[in-house]
Amino acid sequence: MTISTFYYESPLGRIEISATDEVISSVLFEDSAKKQSPKLPATEHLSPEIEKCVLQLDDYFSGKIADFDVRFKHSGSDFQQKVWAELCRIPVGKTISYLELSKRIGNVKAIRAVGTANGCNQIGIIVPCHRVIGADGSLVGYAGDLWRKKWLLDHEQKMVGLQQLTLF
């Protein structure tokens, strides 16, 4: 299985995208990717999923789309998979607390484990871990730095607002 890596220049800094020919395996801000895995050289052959991901990131950052439909696959425990699947159910422009996320997966006592699983998300932006906030509404716990979390949430709020305006 060949892994392709591409470095995408976003408004928030460079993003490292890795994928096989079939699925995206990671989307990480380069500075946070260094903490998680060794840096791989960019590959000349881009998988079709990376090409699709790049186009959708362009559209996301320009405000044309709010949701992604690239194929991706996380590596993680069953518990982590459950948390990450629930992240994908948080609507664009909305946030939930870690407590609410633990309730949604059916284990209110797992709030710390939920936070840990959220922090292990390797497919940032697409699997929207940035939409999880503290119970008091504060921005907490984002591997890509809190200023990026704020930017992403503000960006999505603007997109939702624009979508609502075009409905009338």
Beta-strand pair 13-19/24-29: antiparallel
Using the 8-state DSSP alphabet, how is residue 46 labeled?
Answer: P
**56, 97 contact by CB (below 8 A):** no
Residue 113 banded pLDDT, cuts 50, 70, 90: very high
Which residue among 53, 88, 120, 129 is the active-site one? Answer: 129
Alpha-carbon distances, residue 10 vs 37, 125, 128 (angstroms): 20, 12, 16
- pTM of structure: 0.87
Verify whether residue 120 is a known catalytic residue. Answer: no
- For residue 150, the model assigns a pLDDT of 96
pLDDT, tens digit, 9 for 90 and up, residues 128-141: 999 999 999 999 98
Residues 119 and 124: their CA atoms lie apart, in Å, by 10
The mean predicted confidence, pLDDT, of the chain is: 89
Query: Quick one: what percent of the chain has pLDDT higher than 90?
Result: 75
pLDDT, tens digit, 9 for 90 and up, residues 33-82: 444 444 545 556 788 999 999 999 999 999 999 899 999 999 999 999 99
Q: Is the pLDDT of residue 3 over 90?
A: no
Q: What is the architecture, at CATH level 2, of domain 78-167?
A: Orthogonal Bundle (1.10)
Q: How much of the chain is in helix, strand and coil states, percent to nearest 5?
A: 45, 15, 40
Domain residue ranges in the chain: 4-61, 78-167
Secondary structure of residue 157 in the 3-state scheme: helix
Residue 2 banded pLDDT, cuts 50, 70, 90: confident
